[in-house]
Amino acid sequence: MAVAKKAAQIRLPPLPSIKDVIRLYKLRALRELSQNFLMEPRLIDKIVNAAGNIEKYVVCEVGPGPGGITRSIIHRAPRKVILVEKDRRFIPSLELIADACRDKVDVDIIPGDILKTDITQYVPDDVKTDWHDEPPPLHLIGNLPFSVSTILMIRWLEMISKQEGPWIYGRARMTLTFQKEVAERMAARMLHPQRCRLSVMCQNWCTVKYKFDIPGAAFLPKPDVDVGVVTLTPLKYPLIKHPFKMVEKVVRQIFSMRQKYSIRGAQTLFPEEVRNEMALRMYKMAGIDPMTRPFQIANMEFARIVDAYAEIVKMYPELEHYDYRAPKNKNLKENPEVEEDVI
Protein backbone atom coordinates (compact mmCIF):
# COMPACT_ATOMS: atom_id res chain seq x y z
CA MET A 1 0.00 0.00 0.00
CA ALA A 2 2.81 2.42 0.91
CA VAL A 3 4.57 1.67 -2.38
CA ALA A 4 1.37 2.29 -4.38
CA LYS A 5 0.78 5.53 -2.53
CA LYS A 6 4.31 6.70 -3.23
CA ALA A 7 4.01 5.82 -6.91
CA ALA A 8 0.89 7.99 -7.16
CA GLN A 9 2.79 11.06 -6.02
CA ILE A 10 4.33 13.58 -8.38
CA ARG A 11 7.68 15.07 -7.46
CA LEU A 12 8.20 18.56 -8.76
CA PRO A 13 11.67 19.76 -9.71
CA PRO A 14 13.31 22.01 -7.11
CA LEU A 15 11.28 25.18 -6.62
CA PRO A 16 11.76 28.17 -4.33
CA SER A 17 9.92 27.75 -1.04
CA ILE A 18 6.68 29.68 -0.60
CA LYS A 19 8.53 32.11 1.67
CA ASP A 20 11.14 32.62 -1.05
CA VAL A 21 8.42 33.07 -3.70
CA ILE A 22 6.76 35.74 -1.58
CA ARG A 23 10.13 37.46 -1.22
CA LEU A 24 11.07 36.96 -4.90
CA TYR A 25 7.88 38.48 -6.29
CA LYS A 26 7.57 41.02 -3.47
CA LEU A 27 4.16 39.72 -2.52
CA ARG A 28 2.24 40.80 0.52
CA ALA A 29 -1.20 39.87 1.78
CA LEU A 30 -3.74 42.62 1.23
CA ARG A 31 -6.00 43.20 4.21
CA GLU A 32 -8.72 44.70 2.00
CA LEU A 33 -8.95 41.33 0.18
CA SER A 34 -8.86 39.34 3.45
CA GLN A 35 -5.67 37.61 2.27
CA ASN A 36 -3.63 35.41 4.60
CA PHE A 37 -0.83 33.12 3.46
CA LEU A 38 -0.59 29.68 5.05
CA MET A 39 3.11 29.02 5.48
CA GLU A 40 3.31 25.69 7.35
CA PRO A 41 3.76 22.75 4.87
CA ARG A 42 2.42 20.22 7.37
CA LEU A 43 -0.85 22.11 7.72
CA ILE A 44 -1.10 22.69 3.97
CA ASP A 45 -0.79 18.92 3.42
CA LYS A 46 -3.40 18.31 6.12
CA ILE A 47 -5.94 20.46 4.22
CA VAL A 48 -5.34 18.56 0.99
CA ASN A 49 -5.41 15.21 2.82
CA ALA A 50 -8.88 16.15 4.12
CA ALA A 51 -10.05 16.02 0.49
CA GLY A 52 -9.27 12.31 0.40
CA ASN A 53 -7.80 10.53 -2.62
CA ILE A 54 -7.67 13.01 -5.52
CA GLU A 55 -5.40 10.96 -7.78
CA LYS A 56 -6.56 11.38 -11.41
CA TYR A 57 -9.15 13.92 -10.26
CA VAL A 58 -9.90 17.32 -11.74
CA VAL A 59 -9.26 19.76 -8.89
CA CYS A 60 -10.42 23.37 -8.88
CA GLU A 61 -8.57 25.51 -6.37
CA VAL A 62 -10.16 28.81 -5.44
CA GLY A 63 -7.79 31.63 -4.52
CA PRO A 64 -4.47 29.74 -4.67
CA GLY A 65 -2.43 32.86 -3.87
CA PRO A 66 1.31 32.12 -4.08
CA GLY A 67 0.60 28.40 -4.60
CA GLY A 68 1.26 26.61 -1.31
CA ILE A 69 -1.86 24.43 -1.46
CA THR A 70 -1.43 24.11 -5.24
CA ARG A 71 1.91 22.34 -4.77
CA SER A 72 0.40 19.91 -2.28
CA ILE A 73 -2.48 19.16 -4.67
CA ILE A 74 -0.09 18.46 -7.56
CA HIS A 75 1.99 16.11 -5.42
CA ARG A 76 -1.09 13.88 -5.20
CA ALA A 77 -1.15 13.24 -8.96
CA PRO A 78 -4.44 14.80 -10.06
CA ARG A 79 -5.41 14.64 -13.71
CA LYS A 80 -5.91 18.40 -13.99
CA VAL A 81 -5.76 21.48 -11.75
CA ILE A 82 -7.84 24.59 -12.40
CA LEU A 83 -6.61 27.66 -10.52
CA VAL A 84 -8.95 30.64 -10.17
CA GLU A 85 -7.08 33.65 -8.81
CA LYS A 86 -8.49 37.17 -8.66
CA ASP A 87 -5.22 38.88 -7.67
CA ARG A 88 -2.98 39.06 -10.74
CA ARG A 89 0.13 39.59 -8.58
CA PHE A 90 0.10 35.83 -7.95
CA ILE A 91 -0.06 34.74 -11.59
CA PRO A 92 3.77 34.61 -12.10
CA SER A 93 4.24 32.37 -9.04
CA LEU A 94 1.45 30.07 -10.26
CA GLU A 95 2.98 29.94 -13.74
CA LEU A 96 6.24 28.85 -12.10
CA ILE A 97 4.42 25.81 -10.65
CA ALA A 98 2.59 25.11 -13.93
CA ASP A 99 5.91 25.09 -15.82
CA ALA A 100 7.47 22.76 -13.25
CA CYS A 101 4.76 20.11 -13.68
CA ARG A 102 4.37 20.41 -17.44
CA ASP A 103 3.76 16.99 -19.07
CA LYS A 104 2.75 15.61 -15.66
CA VAL A 105 -0.40 17.55 -14.72
CA ASP A 106 -2.53 19.81 -16.88
CA VAL A 107 -2.79 23.22 -15.17
CA ASP A 108 -5.19 26.00 -16.18
CA ILE A 109 -4.64 29.39 -14.55
CA ILE A 110 -7.77 31.55 -14.68
CA PRO A 111 -7.28 35.20 -13.67
CA GLY A 112 -10.67 36.18 -12.33
CA ASP A 113 -13.19 36.40 -9.55
CA ILE A 114 -14.65 33.00 -8.61
CA LEU A 115 -18.04 34.69 -8.11
CA LYS A 116 -18.01 35.61 -11.80
CA THR A 117 -16.08 32.68 -13.28
CA ASP A 118 -17.67 29.71 -15.01
CA ILE A 119 -15.18 26.91 -14.42
CA THR A 120 -17.23 24.35 -16.36
CA GLN A 121 -15.55 25.34 -19.63
CA TYR A 122 -12.27 24.00 -18.20
CA VAL A 123 -13.65 20.71 -16.84
CA PRO A 124 -13.48 17.65 -19.15
CA ASP A 125 -16.93 16.27 -19.97
CA ASP A 126 -15.94 12.70 -19.20
CA VAL A 127 -15.83 13.34 -15.43
CA LYS A 128 -19.61 13.56 -15.37
CA THR A 129 -21.58 11.10 -13.24
CA ASP A 130 -25.27 10.75 -12.56
CA TRP A 131 -26.45 12.80 -9.57
CA HIS A 132 -27.51 9.66 -7.72
CA ASP A 133 -24.21 7.86 -8.31
CA GLU A 134 -21.00 8.30 -6.35
CA PRO A 135 -19.47 11.84 -6.51
CA PRO A 136 -17.50 12.51 -9.71
CA PRO A 137 -13.67 12.76 -9.85
CA LEU A 138 -14.00 16.54 -9.42
CA HIS A 139 -13.09 18.35 -6.20
CA LEU A 140 -13.15 22.01 -5.16
CA ILE A 141 -10.48 23.13 -2.71
CA GLY A 142 -9.91 26.60 -1.34
CA ASN A 143 -8.37 28.66 1.44
CA LEU A 144 -11.16 31.22 1.09
CA PRO A 145 -10.80 34.91 1.95
CA PHE A 146 -13.05 35.67 4.92
CA SER A 147 -14.71 38.57 3.06
CA VAL A 148 -16.31 36.35 0.38
CA SER A 149 -16.55 32.92 2.01
CA THR A 150 -20.18 33.09 3.19
CA ILE A 151 -21.38 34.82 0.01
CA LEU A 152 -19.62 32.18 -2.09
CA MET A 153 -21.01 29.32 -0.02
CA ILE A 154 -24.60 30.54 -0.42
CA ARG A 155 -24.01 30.99 -4.16
CA TRP A 156 -22.65 27.45 -4.43
CA LEU A 157 -25.54 26.00 -2.42
CA GLU A 158 -27.96 27.54 -4.89
CA MET A 159 -25.97 26.01 -7.77
CA ILE A 160 -26.08 22.64 -6.00
CA SER A 161 -29.86 22.95 -5.59
CA LYS A 162 -30.19 23.52 -9.34
CA GLN A 163 -27.35 21.14 -10.31
CA GLU A 164 -25.60 23.98 -12.12
CA GLY A 165 -21.97 25.13 -12.43
CA PRO A 166 -19.50 22.44 -11.24
CA TRP A 167 -22.48 20.37 -10.11
CA ILE A 168 -23.66 19.66 -13.65
CA TYR A 169 -21.03 16.89 -13.41
CA GLY A 170 -22.61 15.31 -10.35
CA ARG A 171 -22.24 15.68 -6.59
CA ALA A 172 -18.77 17.27 -6.66
CA ARG A 173 -17.25 17.51 -3.18
CA MET A 174 -15.58 20.52 -1.54
CA THR A 175 -12.78 21.01 0.99
CA LEU A 176 -12.71 24.62 2.15
CA THR A 177 -11.36 26.85 4.89
CA PHE A 178 -13.47 29.40 6.72
CA GLN A 179 -13.17 31.67 9.69
CA LYS A 180 -13.59 29.23 12.61
CA GLU A 181 -16.87 30.76 13.72
CA VAL A 182 -18.33 30.41 10.21
CA ALA A 183 -17.12 26.80 9.94
CA GLU A 184 -18.78 26.02 13.28
CA ARG A 185 -22.03 27.59 12.07
CA MET A 186 -22.03 25.48 8.93
CA ALA A 187 -21.78 22.25 10.93
CA ALA A 188 -23.91 23.33 13.94
CA ARG A 189 -26.79 21.00 14.80
CA MET A 190 -29.95 21.78 16.75
CA LEU A 191 -29.25 23.43 20.15
CA HIS A 192 -25.63 24.26 19.25
CA PRO A 193 -24.80 27.86 20.25
CA GLN A 194 -23.63 28.61 16.68
CA ARG A 195 -26.81 27.28 15.05
CA CYS A 196 -28.04 29.78 12.45
CA ARG A 197 -29.44 30.22 8.93
CA LEU A 198 -26.15 29.03 7.39
CA SER A 199 -26.36 25.79 9.41
CA VAL A 200 -29.75 24.85 7.98
CA MET A 201 -28.90 25.93 4.44
CA CYS A 202 -25.63 23.96 4.30
CA GLN A 203 -27.09 20.86 5.91
CA ASN A 204 -30.17 20.94 3.67
CA TRP A 205 -28.08 20.36 0.54
CA CYS A 206 -24.84 18.82 1.85
CA THR A 207 -23.29 16.48 4.35
CA VAL A 208 -21.09 18.86 6.33
CA LYS A 209 -18.04 17.65 8.24
CA TYR A 210 -15.95 19.94 10.40
CA LYS A 211 -12.48 18.41 10.05
CA PHE A 212 -10.04 20.41 12.17
CA ASP A 213 -8.83 23.86 13.25
CA ILE A 214 -5.81 25.78 12.04
CA PRO A 215 -4.41 28.35 14.49
CA GLY A 216 -4.30 31.92 13.22
CA ALA A 217 -0.57 31.97 14.08
CA ALA A 218 0.04 29.63 11.10
CA PHE A 219 -0.91 32.38 8.65
CA LEU A 220 0.92 35.45 7.44
CA PRO A 221 -0.19 38.01 8.45
CA LYS A 222 -1.78 36.46 11.49
CA PRO A 223 -5.59 36.93 11.43
CA ASP A 224 -7.47 37.80 14.59
CA VAL A 225 -9.27 34.45 14.50
CA ASP A 226 -8.51 30.77 13.95
CA VAL A 227 -9.58 28.90 10.83
CA GLY A 228 -11.76 25.82 10.41
CA VAL A 229 -11.49 23.25 7.61
CA VAL A 230 -14.80 21.86 6.35
CA THR A 231 -15.68 19.19 3.78
CA LEU A 232 -19.04 19.21 2.02
CA THR A 233 -20.63 16.45 -0.05
CA PRO A 234 -23.90 17.30 -1.84
CA LEU A 235 -26.84 15.12 -0.82
CA LYS A 236 -28.67 13.00 -3.37
CA TYR A 237 -31.92 14.54 -2.14
CA PRO A 238 -32.26 17.77 -0.14
CA LEU A 239 -34.05 17.54 3.20
CA ILE A 240 -36.36 20.43 2.21
CA LYS A 241 -37.69 19.74 -1.26
CA HIS A 242 -38.58 23.27 -2.36
CA PRO A 243 -36.84 25.89 -4.53
CA PHE A 244 -33.72 27.46 -3.07
CA LYS A 245 -35.17 30.99 -2.88
CA MET A 246 -38.19 29.82 -0.90
CA VAL A 247 -36.12 27.79 1.55
CA GLU A 248 -33.64 30.63 1.99
CA LYS A 249 -36.43 33.15 2.58
CA VAL A 250 -38.21 31.11 5.25
CA VAL A 251 -35.04 30.11 7.11
CA ARG A 252 -33.61 33.63 6.92
CA GLN A 253 -36.71 35.26 8.37
CA ILE A 254 -37.09 32.75 11.19
CA PHE A 255 -33.45 33.30 12.22
CA SER A 256 -33.76 37.09 11.87
CA MET A 257 -34.84 37.14 15.53
CA ARG A 258 -32.63 34.32 16.73
CA GLN A 259 -33.05 34.81 20.49
CA LYS A 260 -36.81 35.36 20.38
CA TYR A 261 -39.58 32.83 19.91
CA SER A 262 -39.31 31.57 16.34
CA ILE A 263 -42.87 32.66 15.54
CA ARG A 264 -41.66 36.27 15.77
CA GLY A 265 -39.31 35.89 12.82
CA ALA A 266 -41.85 33.74 10.95
CA GLN A 267 -44.41 36.54 11.19
CA THR A 268 -42.24 38.72 8.94
CA LEU A 269 -42.94 36.34 6.06
CA PHE A 270 -46.40 37.92 5.83
CA PRO A 271 -47.83 41.45 5.48
CA GLU A 272 -48.46 43.24 8.76
CA GLU A 273 -52.26 43.08 8.48
CA VAL A 274 -52.33 39.27 8.45
CA ARG A 275 -48.99 38.17 9.87
CA ASN A 276 -50.16 36.93 13.27
CA GLU A 277 -52.94 34.82 11.80
CA MET A 278 -50.88 33.41 8.92
CA ALA A 279 -47.77 32.64 10.99
CA LEU A 280 -49.87 30.74 13.56
CA ARG A 281 -51.62 28.87 10.74
CA MET A 282 -48.23 27.93 9.26
CA TYR A 283 -46.90 26.64 12.61
CA LYS A 284 -50.11 24.68 13.26
CA MET A 285 -49.87 23.05 9.82
CA ALA A 286 -46.19 22.18 10.52
CA GLY A 287 -46.89 20.89 14.05
CA ILE A 288 -44.28 23.25 15.57
CA ASP A 289 -44.62 24.98 18.94
CA PRO A 290 -44.64 28.77 18.25
CA MET A 291 -42.66 29.29 21.47
CA THR A 292 -39.70 27.28 20.10
CA ARG A 293 -36.58 29.39 19.48
CA PRO A 294 -34.95 29.17 16.02
CA PHE A 295 -31.86 27.25 17.18
CA GLN A 296 -34.14 24.65 18.81
CA ILE A 297 -35.73 23.68 15.47
CA ALA A 298 -34.34 20.54 13.78
CA ASN A 299 -33.69 20.39 10.05
CA MET A 300 -36.69 18.13 9.39
CA GLU A 301 -38.90 20.50 11.41
CA PHE A 302 -37.74 23.33 9.13
CA ALA A 303 -38.79 21.09 6.26
CA ARG A 304 -42.32 20.93 7.69
CA ILE A 305 -42.41 24.70 8.14
CA VAL A 306 -41.37 25.31 4.53
CA ASP A 307 -43.92 22.71 3.39
CA ALA A 308 -46.59 24.66 5.27
CA TYR A 309 -45.42 27.99 3.85
CA ALA A 310 -45.52 26.52 0.33
CA GLU A 311 -49.11 25.37 0.91
CA ILE A 312 -50.10 28.84 2.11
CA VAL A 313 -48.57 30.64 -0.87
CA LYS A 314 -50.24 28.09 -3.13
CA MET A 315 -53.58 29.25 -1.68
CA TYR A 316 -52.54 32.92 -1.70
CA PRO A 317 -49.91 33.32 -4.47
CA GLU A 318 -49.44 37.03 -3.82
CA LEU A 319 -47.87 36.25 -0.45
CA GLU A 320 -44.85 34.61 -2.08
CA HIS A 321 -43.68 38.01 -3.33
CA TYR A 322 -44.00 39.76 0.00
CA ASP A 323 -40.62 41.05 1.19
CA TYR A 324 -40.37 42.28 4.77
CA ARG A 325 -37.26 44.29 3.87
CA ALA A 326 -38.83 46.10 0.91
CA PRO A 327 -40.40 49.57 1.26
CA LYS A 328 -44.01 49.27 2.38
CA ASN A 329 -45.42 51.04 -0.69
CA LYS A 330 -43.54 48.59 -2.97
CA ASN A 331 -45.21 45.60 -1.33
CA LEU A 332 -48.60 47.26 -1.47
CA LYS A 333 -48.12 47.96 -5.16
CA GLU A 334 -47.13 44.34 -5.84
CA ASN A 335 -49.89 42.88 -3.61
CA PRO A 336 -52.81 45.36 -3.79
CA GLU A 337 -55.39 42.75 -2.74
CA VAL A 338 -53.39 40.78 -0.21
CA GLU A 339 -55.52 41.72 2.83
CA GLU A 340 -58.81 40.93 1.13
CA ASP A 341 -57.51 37.66 -0.36
CA VAL A 342 -55.97 36.32 2.84
CA ILE A 343 -58.72 37.28 5.25
Q: Please check the confidence at residue 42 and state whether its pLDDT lies above 70.
A: yes
Q: Please check the confidence at residue 103 and state whether its pLDDT lies above 60.
A: yes
Collapsing DSSP to helix, strand or coil, 17 comes out as: coil
Kindly state the DSSP code that residue 223 receives in the 8-state scheme: P
What pLDDT does 145 receive?
82
Segments of the chain assigned to CATH 3.40.50.150: 2-234
The pairing of strands 37-38 and 138-143 is unpaired
Among the residues of 16-110, which ranges form H helices? 18-24, 41-50, 68-75, 91-100
Question: 205-253 pLDDT, tens per residue?
Answer: 999 999 999 998 888 777 788 999 999 999 999 999 999 999 999 999 9
What pLDDT does 338 receive?
37
Segments of the chain assigned to CATH 1.10.8.100: 259-342
- % of the chain surpassing 90 pLDDT: 75
What pLDDT does 296 receive?
97
**Phi and psi based region of residue 140 (left: phi greater than 0; alpha: psi -120 to 50; beta: remaining):** beta
The yes or no reply on domain 2-234 and CATH 3.40.50.150 is yes
Helix axes 41-50, 68-75, angle to 10 degrees: 60
Q: Please check the confidence at residue 334 and state whether its pLDDT lies above 60.
A: no
Distance of CA 129 to the CA centre of its chain: 21
Q: Which residue has the higher pLDDT, 332 or 152?
A: 152
Kindly state the DSSP code that residue 105 receives in the 8-state scheme: S
pTM of this structure: 0.89
Q: Are 195 and 295 contacting, i.e. CB atoms less than 8 angstroms apart?
A: yes
Please provide the DSSP assignment of 163-218 as one string: T-GGGGGSS-EEEEEEEHHHHHHHH--TT-TT--HHHHHHHHHEEEEEEEEE-GGG
The yes or no reply on domain 259-342 and CATH 2.120.10.70 is no
Please provide the DSSP assignment of 109-135 as one string: EEES-GGG--GGGGS-GGG---TTSSP
Listed range (32-36, 171-175, 211-215) with the worst mean pLDDT: 32-36
Beta-bridge mates of residue 174: 140, 232
What pLDDT does 39 receive?
81
pLDDT band at 33 (very low <50, low <70, confident <90, very high): low
Question: 120-139 pLDDT, tens per residue?
Answer: 999 999 999 999 999 999 99
